């Protein structure tokens, strides 16, 4: 029975907690509110930070003997206290997994009932001391900072089962090859008394395992496993097909199915060594982007919107999406499984947390594996994003060396988040899921005792100096570019109705910074507003700058393919709300100029020359290595490279023939020339012809000064 629909709600206080939870209270004067939903979607609570008290009345026939009834709350932001007919059920916490309560005895008292739920979602005011495990859904610099996701954001149901309920089911796949796949299952069963049950498991309708299992009264943890012969393998879309199987588990009591669950999974094996991933034994270079929440209003987001984001990532040539700092609704993971998009799944810990969060974080990590472990698209867990993040002072009068020093010290000094909390959460993931790698934290530099560090966040051209400096940094510190999971620059979105452009250049800069995410000091460092006569010119310049930065960062990392770079995730794919942010798709999914640049830079085969200097002088001697990056599973034999250098009133051409190895980066030529004695633009065009297999082009240009 689905209890979704119009409920009643009011701001909670101590008196209401005492008198407004039972059946006799008259809530007719309370505000109507839709469930599922976020309370800020209701006009009366549009600026509320809660807590709110929700109520609904419903009729339910008395359960027959031998059956049990449950209240299932599929999603709440973020904490709650729950009463049925005035009887207290519990205090659930956690937004991305369901909470259930046995109400069999209460529903037998009568046919009319009242469910009351007080929901709290305290706002986060800082990067530090956070307590809600909501990640980027609260107080994030790439989404509306004023948003509060509080509410009953997924359905509330009454479920009827037999005497034993399969409360949780975990399905994991490992040790896969073309002849056999090994599945590991874990169930959490709730029994009304001590008994022996039969657990029957079917794969695509065929019985794969049956086990007799004794149960005690209450909650029981049960593990079982079995092999699937001749499995149909699941692959990311760039390597193969997306074969999926339904795993159906039935709990049989005295010959009758008491409860059952079905999950869809894929037979595949994941491994990672030195930040290089492989799927089913096949190495893959990961081209990815960070995925923000599809919308902040998750409750109102249609399943098709999540699928659209996956499709847009595929259109951009990406293999991987990092579900950045949040756990999304089920539709995202279903779409990723079906479309072959790999996912890096962040646990919703973002920045610094108070010490009392550890036990809750460990418990919720276990719930994440229950909810998501069966999805073949998820190839890694990450316990915490930027635990050592130090607030960067964005004021104009702050020298960059102070921010750099603050950042480096914060990375090296031990902290409770980085050294204790993250290890506990990592161990929780590893204990419950040994089928995919777990990363303790993202964006942490090498430090004692973790001398290898983690993946890197490298914002050259935004926080860290000039974007031209990135290749030299990569050469000097190869360990820092093994996997770069954040890089980018902000740009004004195509849809910018939230900006009053008529006042240019005197925009409401304060509002753009406080509400819409603009980091003005950074932007002014690279794209100064005073240099442009109109808003449109400035807006386009911000997009050109972002596109240039992303292009050269991606090309640099692809030239380092497997030596040592295992891939990247640009920051970021999409906006969740109207923002001036790092996204390449705005909140309406209109593309910025960088989107097409990413498409070109992420093609399976690209040709790349060393970047020309920003300016050159007549007589300069230039040598440029040319590389072919080949992500295909076959070599490009006798590929022909044409290089065409042009300047005012002159040109030079080269032709080379060579072989680019499969799934590798190959240096195919070196172009040497002396800058001509003339002024103007110097343009280098590259063309690669590998017959019917592949073709690629590239262009670079500079100014002869």
Q: Is the dihedral of CA 338, 341, 345, 350 positive or negative?
A: negative
Helix (H, G, I), strand (E, B) or coil at 10: strand
Q: Are 187 and 170 in contact (CB under 8 A)?
A: yes
pLDDT, tens digit (0-9, with 9 covering 90-100), for 654-705 = 999 999 999 999 999 999 999 999 999 999 999 999 999 999 999 999 999 8
Could you tell me the pLDDT band of residue 412, with boundaries at 50, 70 and 90? Answer: confident
What's the length of the chain?
Answer: 705
Distance from C-alpha of 188 to C-alpha of 166, rounded to nearest angstrom: 6
The pLDDT score that the predictor gives to residue 403 is: 65
Q: Check whether 75 has a pLDDT greater than 80.
A: yes
pTM: 0.95
Q: What is the 3-state secondary structure (H, E, C) of 220-236?
A: EEEEEEEEEECCCEECC
What's the token pair of residue 252? 């049989």
Instruction: Give Cα 354 to chain centroid, integer Å.
Output: 23
298 Cβ partners below 8 Å, 6+ apart? Answer: 38, 137, 149, 153, 328, 329
| Mean pLDDT of the region 574-600 | 98
For residue 231, pLDDT beyond 70: yes
How far is 321 from 305, CA to CA, in rounded Å?
15
What is the rounded CA–CA span in Å between residue 518 and residue 64?
60
Contact 115, 84 (CB under 8 A): yes
Tokens of 60: 């339910």
Domains of the chain (ranges; CATH) run 5-160 (2.60.120.260), 164-265 (2.60.40.10), 270-604 (3.20.20.80), 608-704 (2.60.40.10)
Whether residue 434 has pLDDT greater than 70: yes
pLDDT of amino acid 173: 95
Model confidence at 396, in pLDDT bands (50, 70, 90)?
Answer: low
Structure confidence by residue, pLDDT tens digits, 110-167: 899 999 999 999 998 888 889 999 999 999 999 999 999 999 999 999 999 999 999 9
What is the reported pLDDT for 208? 93
Where residue 394 falls among pLDDT bands split at 50, 70, 90?
Answer: low
pLDDT of 392 strictly over 70: no
| pLDDT 10s digits, 289-345 | 999 999 999 999 999 999 999 999 999 999 999 999 999 999 999 999 999 999 999
Hey, what are 348's tokens? 């919703």
Burial of 15 (0-12, 13-18, 19+ CB in 10 A): exposed
């Amino acid at each position: 029975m689905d209890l979704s629909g119009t409920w009643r709600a009011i701001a909670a206080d101590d008196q209401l907690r005492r008198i407004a939870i039972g059946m006799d209270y008259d809530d007719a004067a309370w505000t109507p509110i839709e469930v599922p939903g976020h309370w800020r979607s209701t006009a009366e609570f549009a600026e509320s930070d809660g807590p709110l008290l929700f109520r609904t009345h419903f009729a339910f026939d008395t359960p027959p003997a031998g059956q049990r009834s449950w209240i299932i709350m599929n999603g709440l932001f973020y904490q709650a206290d729950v009463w049925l007919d005035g009887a207290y059920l519990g205090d659930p916490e956690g937004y991305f997994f369901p909470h259930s309560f046995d109400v069999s005895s209460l529903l037998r008292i009568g046919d009319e009932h009242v469910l009351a739920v007080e929901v709290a979602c305290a706002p986060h005011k800082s990067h530090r001391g956070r307590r809600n495990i909501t990640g980027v859904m609260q107080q994030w610099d790439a989404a509306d900072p004023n948003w509060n996701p509080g509410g009953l954001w997924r359905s509330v149901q009454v479920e009827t089962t037999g005497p034993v309920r399969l409360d949780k089911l975990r399905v994991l796949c490992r040790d896969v090859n073309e002849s056999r796949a090994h599945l590991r299952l874990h169930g959490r069963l709730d029994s009304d008394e001590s008994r022996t049950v039969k657990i029957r498991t079917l794969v695509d309708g065929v019985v794969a395992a049956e086990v007799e299992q004794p149960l005690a009264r209450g909650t029981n943890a049960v593990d079982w496993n079995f092999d699937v012969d001749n499995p149909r393998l699941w692959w990311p879309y760039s390597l193969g097909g997306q074969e999926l199987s339904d795993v159906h588990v039935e709990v049989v009591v005295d010959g009758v199915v008491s409860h059952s669950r079905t999950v869809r999974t894929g037979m595949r094996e994941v491994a990672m060594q030195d930040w290089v991933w492989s799927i089913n034994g096949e190495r893959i270079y990961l081209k990815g982007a960070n995925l923000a929440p599809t919308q902040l209003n998750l409750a109102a987001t249609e399943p098709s919107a999540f699928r659209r984001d996956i499709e847009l990532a595929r259109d951009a040539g990406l293999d991987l999406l990092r579900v950045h700092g949040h756990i999304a609704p089920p539709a995202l993971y279903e779409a990723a499984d079906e479309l072959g998009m790999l996912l890096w799944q962040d646990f919703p810990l973002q920045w610094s947390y108070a010490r009392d969060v550890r036990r809750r974080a460990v418990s919720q990590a276990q719930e994440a594996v229950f909810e998501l472990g069966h999805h073949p698209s998820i190839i890694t867990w990450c316990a915490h994003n930027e635990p050592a993040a130090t607030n960067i002072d964005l004021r104009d009068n702050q020298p960059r060396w102070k921010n750099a020093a603050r950042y480096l010290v914060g990375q090296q000094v031990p902290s409770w988040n980085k050294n204790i909390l993250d290890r506990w959460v990592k161990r929780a993931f590893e204990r419950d899921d040994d089928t995919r790698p777990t990363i303790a934290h993202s964006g942490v530099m090498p430090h004692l005792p973790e001398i290898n560090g983690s993946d890197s966040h490298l914002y050259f051209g935004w926080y860290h100096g000039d974007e031209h400096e990135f290749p030299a940094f990569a050469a000097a510190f190869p360990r820092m570019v093994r996997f770069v999971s954040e890089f980018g620059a902000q740009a004004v979105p195509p849809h910018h109705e939230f900006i009053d452009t008529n006042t240019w250049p005197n925009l409401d800069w304060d509002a753009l910074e406080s509400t819409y995410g603009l980091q003005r000091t950074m932007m002014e460092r690279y794209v100064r507003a005073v240099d442009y006569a109109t808003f449109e010119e400035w807006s386009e310049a911000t997009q050109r700058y972002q596109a240039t930065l992303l292009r050269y960062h991606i090309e640099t990392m692809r030239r380092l393919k497997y030596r040592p770079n295992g891939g990247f995730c640009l920051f970021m794919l999409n906006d969740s709300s109207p923002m001036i942010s790092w996204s390449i798709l705005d909140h309406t999914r209109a593309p910025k100029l960088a989107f097409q640049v990413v498409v070109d830079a992420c093609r399976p085969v690209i040709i790349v020359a060393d970047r020309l200097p920003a300016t050159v002088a007549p007589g300069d001697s230039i040598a440029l290595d040319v590389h072919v990056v080949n992500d295909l599973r076959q070599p490009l034999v006798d590929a022909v490279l044409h290089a065409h250098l042009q300047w005012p009133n002159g040109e030079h051409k080269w032709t080379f023939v060579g072989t680019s190895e499969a799934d590798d980066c190959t240096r195919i030529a070196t172009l040497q020339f002396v800058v001509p004695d003339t002024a103007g633009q110097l343009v280098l065009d590259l063309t690669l012809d590998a017959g019917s297999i592949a073709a690629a082009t590239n262009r670079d240009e500079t100014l002869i000064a």
